[in-house]
Amino acid sequence: MLEMRGITKRFPGVVANEGVDFTVRSGRVHTLLGENGAGKSTLMKILFGLYRPDEGSVHLEGTEVEIRSPADAISRGIGMIHQHFMLVPTLTVAENVALGLGGAWGSSDLRPIRQRLVEVSERYGLEVDPDAFIWQLAVGERQRVEILKALFRNARILVLDEPTAVLTPPEVTDLFTTLRQLRDDGRGLVFISHKLHEVMEISDEITVLRDGRIVGNTVPESSSRESLAQMMVGRPVLFTRTVQHHDPGEDRLVVRDLVVQGDRGNLAVDKVSLSVRAGEILGVAGVSGNGQRELAEAIFGLRPVESGGIDIDGVPAGSLAPKAVRSKGMAYVPEERMRDGVIGEFTVAENLVLVDHGSPPYTRWGFLRFGAIKRQCTKLVQRYSVKTPMLETLTRSLSGGNIQKVVIAREFSCGAEVLVVSQPTRGIDVGAAEYVHEQLLGQRAAGAAILLISEDLDEVLQMSDRVAVIFRGQIMDQLPRSEATAMRVGRLMMGLKAE
């Protein structure tokens, strides 16, 4: 029903799509598989009228069409669930759905909308309260609102950009039930993901994108996780990493009944108690926005502690400034690496010494010593295989994976033995992610105590010795690795205690 032919899209410095052909057929789920940065979102944003292609054409039911804006795409029956939700948090569910439906001056009577909302959500198992404000909803519910928005606009083609990235395993199962139902209605679905087991499960057809180009077209029946991964990354990928078991040492980081406020004065961290031992990775799993950011910031002294205590090696370290926390041997890999991890306008070298730049050997009598800085940075760039043209390159021009390597290089090389690591592989390519994981395991083997906070459940399950699950600021449970199955942890992430 829809065909994109020879699509090319260039951004300054990158070709996001190059000669891409892509078709959507009614009653089929067509998966677009590719690494971060492969160009999947760009291709779909072109389809939805958010970007204009530099070359190529879009054909709908056999006739060439030009999609100038999202309004254009909607009127042609194309709906899109964006990777970053497009919802107005201060409006209700019904208002979000109503947005853009009425004429400019009509009075917005929400009653018919609310009624249809109930009907449609029952039919597709998309349960949601029409009068709830978006900010009150959990991530999974927000996604249902996004799908409802598209259905309300009679989308015959539905694009879902990484819909499972934010969901727990039980929620993914529910989403797939809905998707199958939509497909059986005769709609054409585009599913975007880089999680292979999901792709194998839901797809009728798979197209693999790498560096903006199509590198393969296949069906799940004639492919395996290994073959898909190889196509996606361009080389064989390790799936199961065997983490050597070893006995952890003493408690290094202890958090007792920690209470921390969120940005809106809400209770973000609610009496959290954790302890991390030397040579151990404690994974904190949870759906985005359940207090993980506030927890990490409070431990590192970036956010005031309301009550409770934080000890490093038995010495109280609550409410210290980050500099003092660092001097106690803690290092921090923040989740927002561009905002809190590096200064984008600084060079790679400047970012690498940002913590130590004020002390010898990098400074003498208040003057920076460029020779010493350069020697150290050359070493770090090699050791952590940061791909940068020069030490003087501006950090923001590196890829996400290499920026993360800069942060890791700086934080892991300063001799800290307690590491707080947030979302270390979010948005970076498979190669860089593998590398970050290796470094974490290396630190663990060297005896560091690591608190790994991640919204990527696979990552937590793969890396951790123990798994703690956080929900609405509370630790639901802590499980040893042997008992932490995806389904069990997934249920805890949704706030469901063991049945």
Ligand X SMILES: Nc1ncnc2c1ncn2[C@@H]1O[C@H](COP(=O)(O)OP(=O)(O)O)[C@@H](O)[C@H]1O
Task: Kindly list the residues in this chain that would bind Mg ion in the complex (CB under 5 A).
Answer: 41, 83
Tell me, what DSSP letter sits at residue 136? G
Residue type, 37: G
The tokens for 17 are 């799509």
State the nearest-atom distance from the C-beta of 22 to ligand X, in Å: 13
Contact 146, 160 (CB under 8 A): no
Question: Per CB under 8 A, does 41 bind other proteins?
Answer: no
Question: Per CB under 8 A, does 145 bind other proteins?
Answer: no
Contact 277, 248 (CB under 8 A): yes
6, 66, 89, 180: residue in contact with other proteins (rule CB under 8 A):
89
Binding region for other proteins (CB under 8 A) out of 17-25, 99-107, 353-361, 393-401 = 99-107
Contact 285, 309 (CB under 8 A): no
6, 55, 61, 102: residue in contact with other proteins (rule CB under 8 A):
102
State the nearest-atom distance from the C-beta of 357 to ligand X, in Å: 29
Contact 386, 431 (CB under 8 A): no
Question: Per CB under 6 A, does 77 bind ligand X?
Answer: no
> Nearer to other proteins by C-beta: 268 or 272?
268
State the nearest-atom distance from the C-beta of 211 to ligand X, in Å: 9
Please name which of 148, 153, 155 lies closest in space to residue 126, comparing C-alpha atoms.
148
Q: Are strands 363-364 and 367-368 parallel, antiparallel or unpaired?
A: antiparallel
Question: Per CB under 8 A, does 69 bind other proteins?
Answer: yes
CA–CA gap between residue 400 and residue 402 (Å, rounded) = 6
7, 16, 233, 281: residue in contact with ligand X (rule CB under 6 A):
16
CA–CA gap between residue 423 and residue 421 (Å, rounded) = 7
90, 222, 242, 359: residue in contact with other proteins (rule CB under 8 A):
90
> Nearer to other proteins by C-beta: 149 or 277?
149
State the nearest-atom distance from the C-beta of 407 to other proteins, in Å: 25
CA–CA gap between residue 357 and residue 361 (Å, rounded) = 8
CA–CA gap between residue 218 and residue 294 (Å, rounded) = 43
CA–CA gap between residue 295 and residue 139 (Å, rounded) = 19
State the nearest-atom distance from the C-beta of 36 to ligand X, in Å: 4
12, 13, 63, 104: residue in contact with other proteins (rule CB under 8 A):
104
Question: Per CB under 8 A, does 98 bind other proteins?
Answer: yes
31, 42, 290, 292: residue in contact with ligand X (rule CB under 6 A):
42
The tokens for 446 are 């060297």
Question: Per CB under 8 A, does 106 bind other proteins?
Answer: yes
Please name which of 305, 293, 289 lies closest in space to residue 255, comparing C-alpha atoms.
305
Question: Per CB under 8 A, does 14 bind other proteins?
Answer: no
Question: Per CB under 6 A, does 82 bind ligand X?
Answer: no
7, 30, 40, 175: residue in contact with ligand X (rule CB under 6 A):
40
State the nearest-atom distance from the C-beta of 37 to ligand X, in Å: 4
Question: Per CB under 6 A, does 402 bind ligand X?
Answer: no
State the nearest-atom distance from the C-beta of 215 to other proteins, in Å: 28
CA–CA gap between residue 416 and residue 412 (Å, rounded) = 7
How many C-beta atoms lie closer than 10 Å to residue 389's C-beta? Answer: 9
Binding region for other proteins (CB under 8 A) out of 57-65, 74-82, 154-162, 330-338 = 74-82
Please name which of 372, 443, 382 lies closest in space to residue 414, comparing C-alpha atoms.
443
Tell me, what DSSP letter sits at residue 394? B
Go through the chain and tell me how many residues it has. Answer: 499
Contacts of 375 (CB under 8 A, 6+ apart): none
Residue type, 316: P
- Residues binding other proteins: what is the number (CB under 8 A)? 31
Which parts of 17-36 interact with ligand X (CB under 6 A)? 34, 36
Question: Per CB under 8 A, does 410 bind other proteins?
Answer: no
Cα distances (angstroms) measured from residue 429 to each of 64, 90, 194, 436: 35, 34, 10, 11
CA–CA gap between residue 283 and residue 276 (Å, rounded) = 10
State the nearest-atom distance from the C-beta of 69 to other proteins, in Å: 7
State the nearest-atom distance from the C-beta of 371 to Mg ion, in Å: 42
10, 14, 99, 344: residue in contact with ligand X (rule CB under 6 A):
14
36 binds, among ligand X, other proteins, Mg ion, none (CB under 5 to 8 A by kind): ligand X
Residue type, 35: E
3, 95, 306, 456: residue in contact with other proteins (rule CB under 8 A):
95
State the nearest-atom distance from the C-beta of 121 to other proteins, in Å: 18
The tokens for 118 are 């109930």
> Nearer to ligand X by C-beta: 18 or 141?
18
Question: Per CB under 8 A, does 238 bind other proteins?
Answer: no
The tokens for 156 are 């015959």
Question: Per CB under 8 A, does 70 bind other proteins?
Answer: yes
Contact 229, 196 (CB under 8 A): yes
Q: Tell me which residues touch ligand X (CB under 6 A).
A: 11, 14, 16, 34, 36-42
Q: Which residues bind other proteins (CB under 8 A)?
A: 48, 50-51, 69-71, 74-75, 80, 82, 85-91, 95-96, 98-108, 149
